[in-house]
């Protein structure tokens, strides 16, 4: 009976862990939420596109950092003032640079950022192809057949395998 309850406890703990892990992490505080549902939807969409300058790998929608809160409030103020989504993004890019965007625009300044993964993949494919060709060439240049064992070598091999190595 004790093992059964321990198993149920473990199962319950696992289910709780899965539940907690799948709940989306949102840092938006109740006092930040706009009363107009359409504006709030736009604000959340914009917040998911903007990088937290402190956390750097989270959107301001997910970050608890004070700067992220300030940016969320700024986005909501600009929305209430009637700015378009593009105008808000342009304002923040002018203030913080392209780094504020989780997906920076493709420009000459960000070309290296966008093209580096392709370059690394190309180098990897090239290196793999070169290694494959060198292995194939090495296999082709290997001797076609190996000379069979002589009768003396066969006897010696049998002694070694059977553990009766007499010569040392």
Contacts of 61-64 spanning 24+ positions with Cβ under 8 A: 61/26, 61/27, 61/28, 62/25, 62/26, 62/27, 63/27, 64/27
pLDDT of the chain along its 168 residues, tens only?
A: 455 676 777 777 777 776 665 544 456 666 667 677 788 889 889 989 998 888 878 888 888 888 888 998 999 999 989 999 999 999 999 998 888 888 877 778 778 878 899 999 999 999 999 999 988 888 777 666 677 889 999 999 998 998 865 555
Which domains are seen in the chain, by residue range? Answer: 2-105 (1.10.8.640), 110-162 (no CATH)
Q: What is the DSSP letter of 26?
A: -
pTM, rounded to two decimals: 0.52
């Amino acid at each position: 009976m004790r093992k059964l309850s321990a198993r149920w406890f473990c199962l319950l703990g696992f289910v709780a862990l899965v539940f907690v892990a799948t709940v989306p992490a949102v840092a938006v505080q109740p006092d930040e939420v706009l009363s107009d549902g359409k504006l709030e939807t736009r604000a959340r969409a914009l917040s998911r596109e903007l990088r937290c300058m402190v956390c750097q790998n989270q959107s301001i929608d997910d970050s608890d950092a004070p700067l992220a809160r300030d940016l969320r409030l700024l986005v909501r103020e600009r929305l209430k003032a009637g700015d378009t989504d593009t105008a808000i993004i342009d304002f923040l890019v002018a203030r913080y640079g392209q780094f504020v965007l989780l997906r920076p625009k493709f420009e000459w300044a960000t070309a290296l950022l966008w093209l580096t993964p392709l370059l690394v993949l190309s180098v990897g494919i090239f290196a793999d192809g070169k290694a494959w060709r060198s292995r194939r060439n090495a296999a082709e240049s290997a001797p076609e057949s190996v000379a069979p064992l002589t009768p003396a070598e066969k006897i010696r091999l049998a002694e070694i395998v059977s553990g009766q190595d007499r010569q040392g």
